[in-house]
Homo-oligomer: A and B are copies of this chain.
């Protein structure tokens, strides 16, 4: 009944089938991120993918299952990108600096990350909670950050007792909220927060904040 298979599997499979599934996932990601879960239309997703609507059900079962598939892909992407930073090979202060900068630019270049997570949180993470892969995908990040903090503490540059989860959340907070709420903030304060200058100021401000806290 469920024709969808994870990439890990190695059994032979049609090229077309692969291409169709990826096309659906890509267009679903765009549609969900632009209109939210309730606002997304299965018709639009099919049209964006250039495929028949029935095929979505064939591969993904339902709108909610498709949404979960999109979420998993989204988390996989950012965690893979973080791995590519190789923070374990970088001096601690520089590692933090890079993590802030990376997070900022990743959110900037992947606005769908923000809106998809907002949608999932509106639904109290019901989809993610059904996922079997999600925790194992995210734990390496915290281990990595813990290692950075540990190295910094031992070399005397970082203060004691920094919780890597709290710190990661704070870094994410500062980047995420500025971008996710940019439209309302710009409107209520009557000030365009998307100008190149404002954006540069923001990155500098965030780095100051985080390092001002971490450094002993």
Contact = CB atoms under 8 A, between A and B. Distances in A.
Contacts of A184: 117, 120-121, 125, 128
A124 to B, nearest CB: 5
Contact of A128 (B120, B188, B208): B188
Number of copies: 4
A182 B118 CA distance: 10
Interface stretch (A9-17, A85-93, A168-176): A168-176
A35 interface: yes
Interface stretch (A94-102, A136-144, A149-157): A136-144
A120 B201 CA distance: 25
Nearest to A79: B188
A212 B216 CA distance: 10
Contacts of A134: 187-188
A139 to B, nearest CB: 7
A205 B120 CA distance: 26
Contacts of A172: 177, 181
A185 B141 CA distance: 13
B205 A170 contact: yes
Given A75-B188, A128-B187, A177-B177, 5 more contacts: A36-B122, A37-B39, A118-B122, A135-B189, A213-B213
What 7 A-B pairs are tightest by C-beta distance, nearest first? A38-B39, A125-B183, A173-B177, A38-B38, A138-B188, A212-B213, A173-B173
Interface of A: 1, 35-39, 47, 75, 115, 117-122, 124-125, 128-129, 134-135, 137-139, 142, 163, 165-166, 169-170, 172-174, 176-178, 180-191, 201-202, 205-206, 208-210, 212-213
5 contacts: A118-B122, A120-B183, A128-B188, A169-B178, A209-B209
